[in-house]
Structure 1
Amino acid sequence: MSEDHAPWQSAVHRDLAQELLRMSGRRSLVHPAAGLERSAFAILWVLSDGRPRTLRELTAELGLEQSTVNRQVNAAIKHGYVERFEVENSLSKLIRPTEEGSKAFRRDGLLRAQRLEQVFADLDPGTPQALLHELRAFNDAYERTQHRHGTTDSVDPYKKGLG
């Protein structure tokens, strides 16, 4: 192993790690005019399929600690973006977006989509489709490796397709 890319197997592996760090530093392509905090957007992203969730389900889908998700949900409730409600014959309350939360999600989602369109317009070389294909393949391989080795990391809340 050459010292110029240690501890990485090769210069390509080192450079890929560097690019992944650059991406993770952005966390998401948030537009400066976005009103939602990243955590509220992530919660609303999970709930955007129209199915309310328990706190435990949100915790699993966001890949975070339950105490963290509980704190984030409480903050989103305080801002009027989500609400808890009771369901007959269930011990757990469910969480769903409020009308205000749905509007804020659509507004901020549109801003994020516009930002991505600007980035894709400048993507050279490559295409959004090629990037999606490679990122999906990378994430799938990463998750398979985690399962084989019995390890887990936090799952990116945007893995369902958000950029």
Structure 2
Amino acid sequence: MSGAGDASFWPSPVYRDLAEELLRMGRRKTNVVPGTQLEASAFAILWVLSDDRPRTLRELSEELDLEQSTVNRQVNAAIKHGYLERFEVEGQISRLIRPTAAGLDAFEHDGMRRADRLIRVFADLAPGSPDTLLHELRAFNDAYERSTARQDEQHTARQHAH
């Protein structure tokens, strides 16, 4: 059996090294920032809601790419802490979720802490460029989503064929 250090199953060493760097990023607790108030899940939900458009639980689940039961637990925890609220809209079955004033304040506070961290990282990275990284990461994420969507479609088509 080959290991990551043995490049026999990698098309080239650069793919092996990219996989290693992606694993490093995944292990890093980027959502744990000293001095923040919000749990990572509450920050992620507030990030989605930061466009001032309330969402249903289903919409949040889709946008966060998480199971609805997971998002429901996260939303309930954020409601318990006073960061989110559910409200009814006439003519709509599902209640909507929106940030409270406390949620918006905590989101701004934690967002500034995260921005400070990025500023420090890029200052240390010099001459690296946040613009270059953003461009490449966005292109990578877009290609990744296209590729996995095609793979999922092919998998579903094969399942229906059997």
Structure with the higher helix share, 1 or 2: 2
1:34 to 36, 46, 50: 36
Match in the other structure for 1:102:
104
Deviation at 1:4, TM superposition (A): 2.3
Q: TM-score, normalised by structure 2?
A: 0.87
Aligned partners of 1:67 and 1:131: how far apart in 2? 34
Higher relative contact order (CA 8 A, sep 6+): 1
Counterparts of 1:54-93 in structure 2, within 5 Å, are 54-93=56-95
Q: TM-score, normalised by structure 1?
A: 0.87
Count how many residue pairs are aligned between Structure 1 and Structure 2.
149
Question: 1:29–1:116: 8 Å Cα contact kept in structure 2?
Answer: no
Aligned partners of 1:142 and 1:24: how far apart in 2? 16
Match in the other structure for 1:14:
16
Larger Rg belongs to: 2
Greater displacement, 6-15 / 43-52? 6-15
Output the aligned Cα RMSD: 1.4
Percent identical: 68
- Alignment gaps of 5+ in structure 1: 152-163
Greater displacement, 132-141 / 30-39? 30-39
Deviation at 1:59, TM superposition (A): 0.3
- Alignment gaps of 5+ in structure 2: 154-162
Deviation at 1:80, TM superposition (A): 0.5
Letter of the 1:111 counterpart: R
